[in-house]
Structure 1
Amino acid sequence: RDHILSKHLSEKPLHCSKCEYTCMTKQQLNRHVLYKHSTNKPYTCSKCEYSCVTQQRLNEHILSKHSRRNKPFSCSNCIYTCMTKQHLNRHILSKHSRNKPYSCTKCIYTCVTQQDLNRHNLFKHSTNKPFSCCKCTYVCVTKQRLNEHILSKHSRNKPFSCSNCLYTGVTKQKLNQHILSKHSRNKPYSCTKCEYTCVRQHLNQHVLSKHSRNKPFSCSKCIYTCITQQHLNRHNLYKHSSNKQLSCSKCIYTCVT
């Protein structure tokens, strides 16, 4: 009953004042505010910049992101592996289900739960992004997202390396995502407008980015247009930034990451 109330009912009377999260009970709302918006996160990960409010959350993070132990549950559709059956079911439902009844009114994103749609709207379409990166133009809605960005884009310690190319990542999960996206031969999702194929929900992003005529964000320095503020920030960083700290030792090439 709690699961149905939480995940599948479209009408959720309680709203978070800081984001688009909605829920059925006061207990769920309090837990959401505590985990997502609390500034007091005394438990910190020794291997990355992740912080949280409880020891249990920290243990789950370490187990999920940094554990080198065998992950006994594996997805039959991709290379995803995890520690619990619950995580596997959630992955299959989110990444491989063709039945996605919830759709975004601002883009072509579709998903399986109202919670996923709320999170999409918050991260992709929210204009209130108070957290900004001190090393580039990236902005986001949560401190956790900012920490993940800094760790992924600006950290020089990337212990996980791809055996097929020069890619290195900060977590095993990032490496698996890279392998799945770049090196997997099984790409069941195909674009109806071009020959693009992919392994999961990247198809929506591709169609929106490459084939949509509605690109409301435009660059003030060139004719580039795009569908999200995040894409525009990335364009400005890579194409127009004068702060390119990394340089090639064999030629005059410089870059930001």
Structure 2
Amino acid sequence: VHKGHMEQHMRSHTGEKPFQCSKCDKCFAQKVHLDQHLRTHTQEKPFHCSHCEKCFTQKGNLERHERMHTGERPYQCNHCEKAFIQKGDWLVHQRIHSGEKPYACSDCGKCFARKGELVNHQRLHTGERPYQCDHCGKRFSAGKRLARHLKTHIGEESYLCSHCGKSYSTSSNLRKHLKAQLGKGIHQDEG
């Protein structure tokens, strides 16, 4: 093992961070990480996308971005057919198969696979509703709830009944419709 690599590795155990930023005093264990950090101060973006005009401060960010253009999905799930552009998305997806839910609510103990799901859930306890509709002012605890609500304003109704052709803006409204149809003797085969 190269001496420099061994020194870097040993810092992971000792917590030593000898490379200090001259702009903000933040410290790093490796010089390469300091160099990457310095670009946040200089706004230098030396990594250019060959498909569009975007530029990036880090090579890894460019590589991830370019996969959007190429469609490359190098992170394949071993349990199903899904593949991912980013390793982080693949890791979170693995929790579907493992059942792992590492994020627990401190108020009620309910567990979640994603940190964002926990944050949204905790807003139910706090009453926080940071997402506001620009059309009517109604507030929501989660962005996806606002997005669903916005469909009611723009008339986008994406939940279609296969029996009669009626469309609804939410899956719950479609389910209510299907239950009513079921009461009329129509068989329910969706939902």
User: If you compute each CA radius of gyration, which structure gives the higher value, 1 or 2?
Assistant: 2
TM-score normalised by the chain length of structure 1: 0.35
TM-score normalised by the chain length of structure 2: 0.43
Higher normalized contact order (CA 8 Å, seq sep 6+, divided by chain length)? 1
Task: Pick the structure with more helix per residue.
Answer: 2
